[in-house]
């Protein structure tokens, strides 16, 4: 029989390959990834990797022996350049063409940059190589400007401040992409400022001139906090880190004629619009029955869940019940855990409780618990997450139709 081919050897791709084998899929499993390293996990790249003496082996997902034992053929440092969903082949950059029975796209995403930016000049964090390039530059006394106060930007800002750099964060919207409650957002803003980070929200970067060691960043707009008009203000920096989100790697799918919109569109079983082709992880745009909308969920838990969903299907096994998406972040010595998704355009009623070491925010909509945040309160997090409302019906007019029936708990 023809092999199952998994494209992309990140969290989603690796998990899928192993889950396929564990589920008893008889075919050869071929995992093709374009990065040179053994597959690794990304969360430490913006956390412990930058401050601790964390070696590469500690971030590896599996040792090479585990791939051999599971009879998974890992082809690393190889890029798939073309997918033909009719002939069921993938072409590699080296010229080889491989046939598949099923193909799983786990191509992830890449760091977004501002228009005109040269990736070799500025820093961004997506890959192990990015982290290895940034780490030696985090030297006490250096001036670091971080563009974007999302989770990654804030994690790195916090680490850099702790290492003794002068850190400025410029954000045009809200902290953590507006995904946290206003309470948690305000508390983290205060924690960052207390740690010495200069944090400005409500400012847009309109120019970045210079080169490594000599950057000048110009902004526009009135900073929401601190209240000031920063039109035309300039910030000088030795290091520039751009952390304004990720773009899904959809090129292969798009060129193959697969439906894409902010990611590769999939149904609740991760099937794309092409027969025998699935998409999982950061590259997949799925209908979330928790948040009642289509979205890409960039989290390890989502990557693992979707990987196992596809593996179970291909092995003819039952698919696990959908659980609320979860995410975590570490900033200013605190661990933030989040679960669930709030509905768009519905008022949110936040209930804040203080715990021994942190706080918990329960997020209700129309009297129903939709999401939970917990800071340094892992037990409360687990308990409250269990109470999050069951998935909603997927049939909402605002969302693209599902290709197949959703799997309900």
- 12 touches ligand FAD (CB under 6 A): yes
Q: Which of residues 251-290 bind ligand FAD (CB under 6 A)?
A: 252, 281-282
Shortest separation between residue 85's beta carbon and ligand FAD, angstroms:
15
- 46 touches ligand FAD (CB under 6 A): yes
Q: Which of residues 113-142 bind ligand FAD (CB under 6 A)?
A: 125-126
- 325 touches ligand FAD (CB under 6 A): no
Which range in 7-15, 21-29, 161-169, 308-316 contacts ligand FAD by CB under 6 A? 7-15
| CA angle (279, 280, 281) in 5-degree steps | 140
50 vs 230, beta carbon nearer ligand FAD: 50
147 vs 219, beta carbon nearer ligand FAD: 147
* Residue selected from 5, 10, 20, 149 as contacting ligand FAD according to rule CB under 6 A: 10
Shortest separation between residue 195's beta carbon and ligand FAD, angstroms:
19
* Residue selected from 5, 9, 138, 341 as contacting ligand FAD according to rule CB under 6 A: 9
- 187 touches ligand FAD (CB under 6 A): no
Shortest separation between residue 276's beta carbon and ligand FAD, angstroms:
18
For helices 300-314 and 11-22, the axis angle rounded to 10 degrees is 30
Q: What are the beta bridge partners of residue 215? A: 210, 237
- 324 touches ligand FAD (CB under 6 A): no
Residue with structure tokens 């009135």? 222
User: How far is 91 from 76, CA to CA, in rounded Å?
Assistant: 15
Shortest separation between residue 12's beta carbon and ligand FAD, angstroms:
3
Which range in 28-36, 180-188, 255-263, 381-389 contacts ligand FAD by CB under 6 A? 28-36
Q: What are the beta bridge partners of residue 288? A: 293
* Residue selected from 80, 286, 312, 371 as contacting ligand FAD according to rule CB under 6 A: 80
* Residue selected from 328, 343, 362, 388 as contacting ligand FAD according to rule CB under 6 A: 328
Q: Which of residues 140-159 bind ligand FAD (CB under 6 A)?
A: 152
Q: What are the beta bridge partners of residue 42? A: none
Which range in 164-172, 197-205, 298-306, 371-379 contacts ligand FAD by CB under 6 A? 298-306
Nearest alpha-carbon partner for 183 in 345, 375, 324? 375
Q: Give the per-residue contact string, 82-111, with ligand FAD (x = CB under 6 A; - = no).
A: ------------------------xxxx--
Size of residue set near ligand FAD by CB under 6 A: 36
- 338 touches ligand FAD (CB under 6 A): no
Which range in 31-39, 142-150, 227-235, 348-356 contacts ligand FAD by CB under 6 A? 31-39
Phi, psi of 19 (to 5 degrees): -65, -35
- 291 touches ligand FAD (CB under 6 A): no
- Residues found near ligand FAD in the complex (CB under 6 A): 7-13, 32-35, 42-43, 45-46, 79-80, 106-109, 125-126, 152, 249, 252, 281-282, 298-301, 303, 327-329
């Amino acid at each position: 029989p023809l092999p199952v081919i998994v494209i992309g050897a990140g969290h989603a791709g690796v998990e899928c390959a192993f889950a396929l084998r564990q589920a008893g899929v008889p075919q050869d499993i071929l995992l093709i990834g374009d990065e040179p390293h053994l597959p690794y996990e990304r969360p430490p790249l913006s956390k412990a990797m930058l401050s601790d003496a964390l070696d590469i082996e500690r971030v590896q997902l599996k040792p090479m022996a585990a791939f051999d034992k599971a009879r998974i053929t890992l082809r690393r440092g190889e890029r798939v350049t073309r997918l033909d969903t009719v002939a069921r082949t993938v072409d590699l950059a080296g010229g080889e063409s491989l046939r598949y029975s099923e193909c799983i796209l786990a191509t992830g995403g890449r760091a977004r940059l501002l228009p005109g930016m040269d990736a070799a000049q500025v820093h961004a964090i997506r890959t192990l190589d990015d982290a290895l390039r940034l780490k030696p530059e985090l030297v006490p006394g250096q001036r670091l400007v971080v563009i974007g106060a999302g989770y990654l930007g804030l994690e790195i800002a916090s680490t850099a401040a702790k290492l003794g750099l002068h850190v400025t964060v410029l954000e045009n919207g809200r902290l953590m992409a507006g995904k946290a409650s206003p309470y948690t957002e305000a508390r983290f803003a205060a924690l960052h400022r207390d740690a010495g980070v200069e944090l400005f929200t409500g400012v847009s970067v309109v120019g970045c001139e210079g080169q490594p060691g000599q950057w000048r960043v110009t902004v526009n707009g009135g900073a929401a906090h601190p209240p000031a008009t920063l039109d035309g203000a300039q910030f000088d920096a030795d290091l520039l880190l751009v952390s304004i989100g990720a773009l899904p790697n959809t090129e292969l799918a798009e060129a193959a004629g697969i439906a894409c919109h902010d990611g590769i569109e999939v149904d609740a079983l991760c099937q794309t619009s092409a027969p025998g082709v699935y998409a999982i992880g950061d590259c997949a745009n799925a209908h979330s029955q928790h948040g009642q909308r289509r979205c890409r969920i960039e989290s390890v838990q989502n990557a693992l869940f979707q990987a196992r969903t596809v593996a179970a299907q291909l092995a003819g096994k039952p698919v696990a019940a959908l659980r609320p998406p979860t995410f975590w972040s570490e900033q200013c010595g605190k661990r933030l855990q989040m679960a669930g998704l709030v509905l768009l355009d519905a008022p949110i009623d936040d209930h804040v409780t203080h715990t021994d070491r942190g706080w918990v925010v329960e997020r209700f909509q129309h009297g129903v618990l939709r999401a939970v945040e917990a800071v340094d309160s892992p037990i409360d997090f687990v308990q409250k997450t269990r109470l999050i409302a069951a998935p909603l019906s997927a049939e909402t007019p605002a969302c693209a139709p599902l290709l197949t029936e959703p799997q309900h708990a």
